[in-house]
Chains A and B, each alone.
Chain A
């Protein structure tokens, strides 16, 4: 085939047409791509306008010098909407369903622009929130409630009932934990923006501020048991470099002095490398020092430690018969003793297990070493308050428990049981509480109020929220036996 023939053949025509079509199409698309390209800026603008409901110009605010990792939420980005002065926040709400939830929150500043004046749109994008598999169960009108319910100082919470309580987000079922994360995100946004607008920063609040001398105490690992007028503390200290944390058992009696002081785990470290002593030598000094703590009261320890226990030195040691040489370790022991003695009054007079009890409507009467509590619980949505009469015997176990008013509500609307079915479960569970003491309730109740400990303790799940209320009432009764024995009444008559 000659070249001339080839150029006249069908094959050439085919190839030429195909290539021609491809070329024309390619050029056309390249031009169009240049004309119609969506820039990154435009994409971001779309995200913002979809949250805001209209096109706006925004500028990102510098928040790098602020505390953005709050307890409830983490603030990722803050944008100022130039058009009307509102702010758009990208927030990660913590403690949502199986992790965190990413939200967009519009925050409106108040008239003087010094604090938050309202909430605008709240949006939860479906992208990036893969773990929130029930997100679509929350209707958009639910998110509007954030804006409608806003008032100064509001803290949003997620609930189960359809009441008009402000700030309570009604979640039918399945998506309640997602809603918890969203509420956290909005609450965190308000907290952050209040600080941001006023020009300040967020101070993390100290949850243990009512306790004296807890600066060197690891409060999360520390616990105490009341036994009559004695309190036995299991204290874990923080480190006090170079000393590591100590674990100490302290008993304080009625006279508010140290009755027993035992170090269950020493924290001193080897100091030979820098001219100090060996661990054994340190331990000897510490043991000798703590032996002198017995019988001493809060004033004694305060006198040595001074106002700020974290800055305490051995300046007051010699005057108080203590040996220097293991100062850091001794300070930790002093701090433990100071904590135990100075908080005696507070702890002995604080009722325990009150988080689910309506204290204003709860009272007790004492007769022959037995205490009969008339307890009204708070509600534990969807369960309404229970009214329960509990009798605790001298051995601090439940001798009688009667539910005088049930609080379970109908759950059939969201796939739950009827009131009668709930009541039957609760009654069966309540019957098993007779004869049980505080240890039992400690094992079965957790802070979150879940049914995790039910099965191991012969309780049936299925009416968890109601059962938790009964357990809380019983735990309240046994835990506060000693206090109530000596304090009359409770409720309004208590004052």
Chain B
């Protein structure tokens, strides 16, 4: 059970694709000026990443090692094309707000990266879980920054106007870079502190154990 917990926590926090690995930066920077499109992009990636991890893990014994990358690309491209058709048909608003970045999910390093680094070495269940948790980590990060940028940059949240005060620069790519950079700094700082505390706690526990043993 611990294995699944680790995969989940890794995806969401310790190996968060956006803040810790800094992957998939193009759609992140391009879409966080609106919380709606940022979240939409995140959820689209969750679906595609989960399905691609699942399929690649299923086929990992069938696909010869020499042609695995082209095969992965074809599978991912198929899923993206399917997602594009689906959104165009049923969620045209989201389709419009994602614009060119929808097709560019194909070259999103997270998806190919997880296929290569995880799915072709693990079983179906683990791979799918990894896909969901990595995808949700990506979604959470994008939504967080989308909320910050949209609230401060446009004075609105998910398209609803909240205040008239706005720092328009934060809704531009320049603002996206700034917010992204600062979010990474804060996130890494918090995680570092957390890990240090965990280490200190473990050391303390060990020392106490030692002491009790000695006593």
Contact = CB atoms under 8 A, between A and B. Distances in A.
Do A and B interact directly, with beta carbons closer than 8 Å? yes
A29 B62 CA distance: 22
A17 interface: yes
Contacts, number: 43
B74 interface: yes
A184 B82 CA distance: 44
B209 interface: no
B67 interface: yes
Nearest to B73: A21
Nearest to A13: B64
A38 interface: yes
A18 B70 contact: yes
A22 B110 CA distance: 22
Interface in B60-95: 62-64, 66-67, 70-71, 74-75, 77-78, 81-82, 85-86, 88-89, 92
Interface residues of A, number: 16
A38 B92 CA distance: 10
A10 B74 contact: no
Query: Is chain B's interface secondary structure helix, strand, loop, or mixed overall?
Result: helix
Contacts of A14: 64, 66-67
Interface in A1-35: 10, 13-14, 17-18, 21-22, 25, 28-29, 32-33
Given A18-B71, A38-B89, A10 B66 contact: yes
Nearest to B79: A25
Contacts of B85: 32-33, 36-37
A29 B70 contact: no
A46 to B, nearest CB: 6
Given A25-B74, A25-B75, A36 B86 contact: yes
B88 A17 contact: no
B158 to A, nearest CB: 15
A134 to B, nearest CB: 13
Contacts of A25: 74-75, 77-78
A17 B92 contact: no
Contact of B75 (A21, A36, A46): A21
Band of interface residues on B: 10 to 19
Contacts of B62: 17
Contact of B92 (A10, A28, A33, A46): A46
Interface in A415-452: none
A213 B18 CA distance: 79
Contact of B82 (A22, A32, A38): A32
Contacts of B92: 38, 46
Contacts of A29: 78, 81-82
Contacts of B74: 18, 21-22, 25
Contacts of A46: 92
Contacts of B71: 17-18, 21
A427 to B, nearest CB: 35
A120 to B, nearest CB: 21
A10 B86 contact: no
A38 B95 CA distance: 12
A32 B89 CA distance: 11
Contacts of A32: 82, 85
Contacts of B70: 18
A28 B78 contact: yes
A10 B64 contact: yes
Nearest to A140: B161
A21 B67 CA distance: 11
A37 B81 CA distance: 12
Contacts of A21: 59, 63, 71, 74-75
Contacts of B82: 28-29, 32
A186 B18 CA distance: 47
Given A29-B81, A33-B85, A18 B75 contact: no
Contact of B88 (A18, A22, A28, A36): A36
B58 to A, nearest CB: 12
Among A21, A32, A37, the most chain B Cβ lie within 10 Å of the Cβ of A21
Contact of A17 (B64, B78, B86): B64
Contacts of B66: 10, 14
Contacts of A38: 88-89, 92
Contact of A18 (B67, B86, B89): B67
Given A17-B62, A33-B85, 17 more contacts: A10-B64, A13-B64, A14-B67, A17-B63, A17-B67, A17-B71, A18-B71, A18-B74, A21-B63, A25-B74, A25-B75, A28-B78, A29-B82, A32-B82, A32-B85, A36-B88, A38-B89
Interface of A: 10, 13-14, 17-18, 21-22, 25, 28-29, 32-33, 36-38, 46
22 contacts: A10-B66, A14-B64, A17-B62, A17-B63, A17-B67, A17-B71, A18-B74, A21-B63, A21-B71, A22-B74, A25-B75, A25-B78, A28-B78, A28-B82, A29-B81, A29-B82, A36-B85, A36-B86, A36-B88, A36-B89, A37-B89, A38-B89
